[in-house]
Amino acid sequence: MTPSDSMPAPLDAEYFRTRLLDWFDHHGRSQLPWQQERTPYRVWVSEIMLQQTQVATVIDYFQRFMARFPDVESLAAAELDEVLHLWTGLGYYARARNLHRAARCVVEAYGGHFPVENVEALSALPGIGRSTAGAIIAQATGQRAPILDGNVKRVLSRLHGVGGWPGRPAVERRLWQLAEHYTPHWRCADFTQAMMDMGATLCTRRRPACLLCPFVDDCVAHRAGEETRYPESKPKKTTPLRHTLMLMLIDEEGRVLLEQRPASGLWGGLWGLPQFDDETQLRDWLDSHAPGSRFGERRQPFVHAFTHFRLEITPLTAHLSRGSAGVAEGQHWYDPLQPASLGLAAPVKALLDAQTTLL
């Protein structure tokens, strides 16, 4: 599909820029800390801090950061721990680690000079992607460079009624294309700031102030009365359903065999029932670990929900006919009538509690 096919025509670029910059001159933000003394270093730090983080939260962190690390050399010379300390509370700490690495890279590879001349060199630095590179270039140098952050995505998707989740490549391509179309060669710093300010203060995610918007008559979403439909949210992934068998091996005194799980991973370090992917594995295990046992019954499966998946658990019972097997390392015979204080996985506890009521 070519861009000109079956796509609504964008607005005239000059019309859009004029109206946007006129709005910005009256309502845009021009007194933010990083807008004063616009060095590439200060703009860079601010853009990294502003990733996934709102302006009001960033301001104090930015001031403290600049007081301690006034230039890229001081940042490069610092210990990572101190950088992380100044970042504490901002979240996304990989940003701080990348910032520190990038500072050393700029000092060593570019002699402390940010490669603001080309997007590729800039976005090769850790923590700087396509949009952040564009923002740094536009804000620090005024050169033409499009950006596409969450705010711009929201403004453009509403203005043109661009459906689909922006995380989808085709949707993102279309939005970049629109951003390219509108980005001017003049006043590019103001333009990109204006787009972000629009998204942050006017074209907000909920309850956008459409009556104050310079594009109220142009906006596809507004004309349809469906502003909040855009941008579409990420489709909820139906959590996958996995299956497992849990063996309740019961001795003649009604005790149940538990095994301690590996220290890491699901239910790390907790005690659980022996688990198997299928009944063959389970029978093999019984043959080698509890040869005197007889197979019991397959009970009603139930589903336990995790964050990332659901687990269908099928309980199976088996009985030891001649006393108990020995207790090996990492094993425990659990007496439902005199339960020891063990960390139990939730569904295992439910099974053991149910077993108790059967006695």
Partner DNA sequence: AATCCGGGGAA
Partner DNA sequence: TTCCCAGGATT
Q: Which residues are catalytic?
A: 47
- The one-character DSSP state at 229 is G
Q: Pick the closer one to DNA by CB: 221 or 318.
A: 221
Q: Pick the closer one to DNA by CB: 51 or 293.
A: 51
The answer to whether residue 193 forms part of the interface with DNA (CB under 7 A) is yes
Member of 3, 8, 167, 291 binding DNA (CB under 7 A): 167
- Calculated CA dihedral for residues 164, 170, 175, 177, nearest 10 degrees: -150
The answer to whether residue 190 forms part of the interface with DNA (CB under 7 A) is no
Rounded Cα–Cα distance for residues 231 and 308 (Å): 25
- Residue 24: strand pairing partners: none
**Closest-CA residue to 159 (of 11, 338, 318):** 11
String of contacts with DNA for each residue 199-218, x by CB under 7 A: xx----xx------------
The stretch near DNA (CB under 7 A) out of 7-15, 63-71, 111-119, 197-205 is: 197-205
Residues 112-141 that bind DNA (CB under 7 A): 123, 125-133
Rounded Cα–Cα distance for residues 49 and 321 (Å): 66
Q: In one letter, which amino acid is 31?
A: Q
Handedness of CA 70, 73, 76, 79 (dihedral sign): negative
Q: CA of 74: how far to CAs of 61, 65, 68, 187, in Å?
A: 17, 11, 8, 31
**Least spacing, CB of residue 19 vs DNA, in Å:** 19
Number of residues assigned to the chain:
359
**Least spacing, CB of residue 202 vs DNA, in Å:** 12
Residue 300 C-beta-side C-alpha neighbours within 13 Å:
3
Rounded Cα–Cα distance for residues 156 and 172 (Å): 11
Member of 23, 45, 114, 149 binding DNA (CB under 7 A): 149
The stretch near DNA (CB under 7 A) out of 73-81, 215-223, 229-237, 290-298 is: 229-237
Q: Hey, what long-range contacts does 133-137 have (CB within 8 A, 24 or more apart)?
A: 134/192, 135/43, 135/47, 135/192, 136/40, 136/43, 136/44, 136/47
Rounded Cα–Cα distance for residues 147 and 151 (Å): 10
Q: Pick the closer one to DNA by CB: 133 or 256.
A: 133
**Least spacing, CB of residue 175 vs DNA, in Å:** 12
Rounded Cα–Cα distance for residues 66 and 88 (Å): 15
Member of 42, 43, 51, 230 binding DNA (CB under 7 A): 51
**Least spacing, CB of residue 31 vs DNA, in Å:** 11
Pairing type for strands 302-305 and 293-298 reads unpaired
Coil, strand, or helix at residue 327?
Answer: coil
String of contacts with DNA for each residue 68-97, x by CB under 7 A: ---------------------xxxxxx---
Rounded Cα–Cα distance for residues 151 and 88 (Å): 25
259 and 274 Cβ atoms separated by less than 8 Å: yes
Q: Pick the closer one to DNA by CB: 201 or 356.
A: 201
Q: Pick the closer one to DNA by CB: 53 or 356.
A: 53
String of contacts with DNA for each residue 231-250, x by CB under 7 A: x-xx-x--------------
The stretch near DNA (CB under 7 A) out of 166-174, 212-220, 289-297, 327-335 is: 166-174
Q: Pick the closer one to DNA by CB: 295 or 309.
A: 309
Q: Pick the closer one to DNA by CB: 119 or 282.
A: 119
Cβ atoms within 10 Å, residue 118: 12
The stretch near DNA (CB under 7 A) out of 46-54, 64-72, 183-191, 281-289 is: 46-54
Residues that bind DNA (CB under 7 A): 29, 32, 46-47, 50-58, 89-94, 98, 123, 125-133, 149-151, 154, 167-169, 193, 196-197, 199-200, 205-206, 231, 233-234, 236
